[in-house]
Chains A and B, each alone.
Chain A
Amino acid sequence: MSKTRRYFSLLGLLVVLSMLLAACGAPATTAAPTATQPPVETKAPVEETSAPAPTTAPTEPQAPAVPNCGTEPVVLNAYFETGFDLPFKLAEEFSKQYPNVTWDIKQDQFTNLINSTPRLLSGDNPPDLIRLPTMVSFAKQGLLKDLDGYAAAFGWDKWPVPQLNQNRVAPDGTRGSGTLYAMGLNYSLTGIFYNKTLAAQIGMTEPPKTLAEFEDYLAKAKAAGLLPIMAWGSAKSGMGLAFPLQALMASVGPVEPINDWIFQKPGATIDTPSNLVAAQHLEQWIKNGYFPPDVNAIEYTDANVRFTKGEGVFLFNGDWENWRYDKDMPGNVGFFLMPPAEEGKPPAAMSAPLTFGIAAKAKNADCAAFFLNWVATNEKARAINVQYGGSNPGGPADLPLPPVPEGSITNQTLAAGAIVGKAGTAMDFIANATSSIFAQGWTPELQKMVAGKQDAAGLLKAVQAEYERELAEQ
């Protein structure tokens, strides 16, 4: 379940992989602390950064000392998501490098975190570090620490822009700009995985370059008696056809209006002419039998298991599942980004940070912030990040990516991420536009479409109506 629900939380607007690009320009050499740098023992700067001056102007003192974990014993109070090793491995390594820091880690399923986070943040023992399922409402309620002070102290604000923007919330509740409330442990990427053996059977030797080519392969797969696309779609898992739908939207149209809609920009609508074309493609795929007939009852985990067992040529999913595909179908899995409708147009992808925040009342906020900085900048941490997370670790633009084992699918997803980063075509997930647009909008309406009870135009209208209902009630 936790894996299932994980990308409900796909947050964030732009991927971050642009740091790979020389084009980004070398950022100023910030005094990002490294593991070797002895922690500076200070008191004053701690106070200074723990209360980051919001808008009051004077900006002089920030520079000299960066927050750190000190030398006294510190117990970091953390909430992680069950089923994902990465944060645990990082915590372990952090304690090795900073022995005065120990952890009190609690874990829970993602769905439970969604419901319990407000209480945890506002409770008596607020977490120093917590996996954030969503962010806007907690930020507006003042439950999350304003990280702008840390961003200045650690030089995060000099990292490639999109990394931080996706975790910024403006006073009116729109995301994408404003105060920084969270950091990503890494930055995931979605696209299309394929079974190499089955792809060879339909004559696909290299990934398609256009939507038409891709649809041609889908038709060939169907004709060859194969299942073209494995997918999940139960209400419990959340309707997985939102993945191909959004990929189609970005394939036939621009990504900006999609992000505007997700970030609740005034007047934004999902019911646009190009999105209608995208939804019509999806409707046609359904009618052509490109998805499993029982998709409305398939759970997320079952879809992945069935795909690794050879059912389905393609699967729309994200790089957080790389470990599974590497393990269960080693060497037999490939990855490509959804190809654009017009050749030459850059491909786009849904992408998001693995978001962690600090409670406003956290006792060890400085140490937690230091940890977040360490994750993105420490060589060992970045290696762990890629090994267990499968995604880009982010961080300053001039740091090299850690090596990935030969033959791992991660090589392909990281390379694809660089393309999206360069093109600036990353998107947040359409299911994250409002808190229950997935449960009350996309999931039921797409399920109706699968059953032939909803058409492309009706789908977009119904979801837009639900979006407006939720926004109006706020």
Chain B
Amino acid sequence: MTLGNDNILTATAVSRRGLLGGRLRRASIIGWLFTLPALGMYAAFVLIPLLLSIYYSFFKWDGIGPMTWVGLRNYVTVFKVPDLLGTIYNAFRLVLWFSLIPVGLGLVVASVIHRVAPGRFGALVRTVVFLPQVIPLVAAGIIWGWLLALPGLVNQILRSIGLGAITRAWLGDFDWALPAVGMIGVWVLLGFCTVLLLTGISKIDPALYEAARIDGASWFQEFIHVTVPLLKQEIGVCLTVTVINALAAFDIVYVATGGGPGNSTAVPGIQIYILAFTEQRIGLASALAVMLMLLVFIVILPIQRLTRETA
């Protein structure tokens, strides 16, 4: 978002130098007109709900009846939500699975595809890796539920290779449910990261790779010294999107475990859902949602700064 604003600023700076004021104004009006449909959608589906949530968070409201102004009381009550800190801790544990692993693995997969299989095979791999993005998550959740069940395929494979001792009901185990949900997250998000990073790699000047190879750089050296530094912006975008996915997680967790067993996979998103729709406490749910948004900002802003500064 900020990136886009910068571009506009640069553009206007350039135009100011080269063009007359009137033409500039007309050009910028036309520019705004072009963005109007997108802005309209953005306002309708993001800005208005966002502002409404903030507004609701100051009321006691069941979603239907009259709303009662309660000021900041919801922001106090929210701390009594069962195991609130536990859910936030879980969200941070998910950052590893939803963000760090898909981005790290995505980098490796993208650079391998770029180096060894740029042709038709590469396209095939790219499609396969991207496929989970296309499969409806609810269906995926049910399938993963079967795969990870005690009689499921994952345990059958483990037994067949002599690892019967570690088989368990993965999604029903207090210690393993979160990593199991995390693996589903890796499966879903790896494709997104890979495709994005692959696009980035293809923009890197091939001369740099050629030079590195002439200097005798290994694949790993090439990866560390050419690919990763030049992909900083793409990595930044990947990290931003996936970290938000982790901290504001709802869908993957909901379809996989519903937050159980115990509260071992419960995340703030699940709590917001229960507060809003099961308990019909829209105000309290909105307050938690607003706090979650602030938390996401606090985490995301440094990532944005870090990945943009040196770019």
Contacts and interface: CB of A to CB of B under 8 A. Distances in A.
Interface of A: 114-115, 118-119, 122, 137, 141, 143, 233-236, 292-299, 302, 435-436, 439-440, 443-445, 447-448, 450-451, 453, 466, 469-470, 473
Most buried by B among A119, A296, A297, A473: A297
Contact of B172 (A233, A443, A453): A233
Identify whether the interface residues of B are mostly helix, strand, loop, or mixed: loop
Contacts of A294: 149-150, 168-169, 172
Interface of B: 62-65, 77, 80, 82, 145, 148-150, 168-174, 257-263, 266, 274, 277-281, 284
Nearest to B257: A235
Contact of A444 (B62, B262, B281): B262
Contact of A297 (B80, B169, B259): B169
B64 A235 contact: no
Contacts of A141: 62, 64-65
A431 to B, nearest CB: 12
B73 to A, nearest CB: 10
Most buried by A among B149, B150, B260, B280: B260
B169 A293 contact: yes
B280 A137 contact: yes
18 contacts: A115-B278, A119-B64, A141-B64, A233-B261, A235-B258, A235-B261, A293-B169, A294-B172, A296-B260, A297-B171, A297-B173, A297-B261, A298-B149, A436-B274, A440-B82, A451-B174, A451-B262, A470-B279
A119 to B, nearest CB: 8
A439 B278 CA distance: 9
A235 B260 contact: yes
A263 B195 CA distance: 55
Contacts of A302: 149
A234 B280 contact: no
Contacts of A298: 149, 169, 172
Contacts of B260: 234-236, 296, 443-444, 447
The 5 A-B residue pairs whose C-beta atoms are closest, nearest first, are A297-B172, A235-B260, A294-B169, A296-B172, A297-B169
A448 B150 contact: no
A297 B278 CA distance: 22
B64 A469 contact: no
A447 B262 contact: yes
A185 B64 CA distance: 27
A236 B258 contact: yes
Contact of B169 (A296, A448, A469): A296
B172 A295 contact: yes
Contacts of A297: 145, 148-150, 169-173, 261
A4 B260 CA distance: 16
A236 B261 CA distance: 10
B174 A453 contact: yes
A435 B169 contact: no
Contacts of A443: 260
A235 B284 CA distance: 23
A436 B278 contact: yes
A294 B258 CA distance: 16
B274 A440 contact: yes
B262 A439 contact: no
A447 B265 CA distance: 12
A299 B171 CA distance: 11
Nearest to A118: B64
A118 B63 contact: yes
Contacts of B284: 473
A234 B80 CA distance: 25
Most buried by B among A235, A299, A443: A235
B243 to A, nearest CB: 25
A235 B260 CA distance: 5
A450 B64 CA distance: 39
B274 A234 contact: no
A448 B260 CA distance: 10
Contacts of B65: 141
A293 B280 contact: no
Contacts of B262: 444-445, 447-448, 451, 453
Contacts of A453: 174, 262
A294 to B, nearest CB: 3
B257 A234 contact: yes
Most buried by A among B62, B145, B174, B261: B261
Nearest to A462: B82
B46 to A, nearest CB: 22
A453 B169 CA distance: 17
A450 B145 CA distance: 19
A469 B80 contact: yes
Contact of A236 (B148, B257, B263, B278): B257
Contacts of A234: 171-172, 257-258, 260-261
Given A444-B259, A451-B174, A473-B281, 20 more contacts: A118-B62, A118-B280, A234-B257, A234-B258, A235-B260, A236-B257, A236-B258, A293-B150, A294-B150, A295-B172, A298-B149, A436-B278, A440-B82, A443-B260, A444-B261, A445-B262, A447-B261, A448-B261, A469-B82, A470-B279
